[in-house]
Amino acid sequence: MLRLARGDIAGKRLTLPAGRNATDRYRLVLKIDRNNASASAGLVETAKALMTVADEQFASGKIDDYFVSAARAVEIAGVHDRDGLLRKSVDIRRKQLIDAALKEGDAAFERWDSKAALAAYARALHLDPANAAAKRGQKQSANLGQPGFVFSDRIGTVAGPELMVQRVGGKRLAVARNETTVAEFTRFWNGGGSTTRAVRPACRDRESIFRSSKTRTWQSPSVTQQASHPVVCVAWGDVDAYVAWLSKQTRKRYRAMTAAEWTGLAAQTADAKQCRANVADKRYNAEHRERDALACDDGFAGTAPVRHYDAPGGLYDMAGNVREWVSDCGSSCSSRVAMGSAWLSTADKLDPKQRGSFDADTGFNTIGFRVVREID
């Protein structure tokens, strides 16, 4: 029987025909003599021969056939493959294929190729239905680059501003979900901004020409701030320099929003009248004696951390916190437009679509900015 089984291996009759193949013959011997070492070793040799067939299938691109044959080989070897080398070799190859599929999916995701990303993640899930990374990638890829899609470009080893794709004026536009923060502006400042924007503008407190000072800066704007608050006391030149730096760092096209784009997005804002945004409230009234302040309490007399309030449309602080510089300007561009309301806005000045004209070379501790990244 052992001699016949060895002949079956040589003749590649590993599992068929039934009763006259190496696997069945060695198992019959073990049924008669369960301690037969030759039969035990023979099953391992049969499994190895089947793995050779599996490897040939793999080499020809028949991946599913490979795993069927490999699984059969592991089953044939069973407990006789005491070191588990056959199983380990299959597991290693499976992991290599999964890793390659995930890498391919991630690369397609980065270039916004939804079809290729979904196909790659599907291959990974075919090999490992419980793979969390593949499930996550597949879910994110379904909405890749479409309105509502959230992503960030890389600035070196860290993430840039978090952006949400919006459809504005018939085109897709990636809009920063929050106003540029003190922390984000500090990164620009330390990355060269302190040189390119060394000459600082005067900054006005609460937009008053009588409260203008060059000692008031974005680092010390006369309102209590933390790294998570929107940067203020920045003139238009600072905005222009920041988006140029961000574009260079990410190799993408960043810029400030236009007034028309702002207006198109303003419908998504929260209701500031109920202090669901940072505007002039009773705290502001207590500090600045403003009789037209709202009677509610939004939690802050000055600026608030970005993302502190709800964002019905996914974009934070489109109402309140700070007005935002946009790229529109007058005939000589000595003045620029800022849109929206801010932490000093009283009950009669809460319209998020409102616009004001401000000296472009001056900073204000009520005005910041938000970046957008062009797509189409």
157, amino acid identity: T
pLDDT of res. 270: 67
* Mean pLDDT, range 165-190, rounded to an integer: 97
Phi, psi of 358 (to 5 degrees): -135, 150
Chain mean pLDDT for the chain: 96
Would you say 227 and 242 are in contact if contact means Cβ atoms under 8 Å apart?
no
Summarize the confidence of residues 5-11 as an average pLDDT: 96
Rounded to an integer, what distance in angstroms lies between the CA atom of residue 376 and that of residue 366?
32
| pLDDT tops 90 at residue 72 | yes
- pLDDT attached to residue 145: 94
Question: How far apart, in whole angstroms, are the C-alpha atoms of residue 87 and residue 83?
Answer: 9
Identify any residues that bridge with 198 across adjacent strands, giving them in sequence order: none
Element (H, E) at 327: strand 323-329
Q: Rounded to an integer, what distance in angstroms lies between the CA atom of residue 339 and that of residue 369?
A: 9
> Model-level pTM?
0.80
**What's the pLDDT score for residue 268?**
74
Average pLDDT for 151-176: 96
**pLDDT-based confidence at residue 274 (cuts at 50, 70, 90):** confident
Give the Cβ contact number of residue 125 at 10 Å. Answer: 18
85-119 pLDDT, tens per residue? 999 999 999 999 999 999 999 999 999 999 999 99
pLDDT per position as a tens digit, 207-244 = 999 999 999 999 999 999 999 999 999 999 999 999 99
The C-alpha atoms of residue 259 and residue 270 are separated, in whole angstroms, by 19
Using one digit for the tens of pLDDT, what is the confidence trace for 313-344?
999 999 999 999 999 997 789 999 999 999 99
Q: For residue range 236-271, list pLDDT tens digits in order.
A: 999 999 999 999 999 999 999 999 999 999 877 867
Residue 68 DSSP class: H
- Residue 145 near residue 114 (C-beta atoms within 8 A): yes
- In this predicted structure, what is the pLDDT of residue 331? 78
pLDDT at residue 182 tops 80: yes
Cα–Cα dist 317/175, whole Å: 13
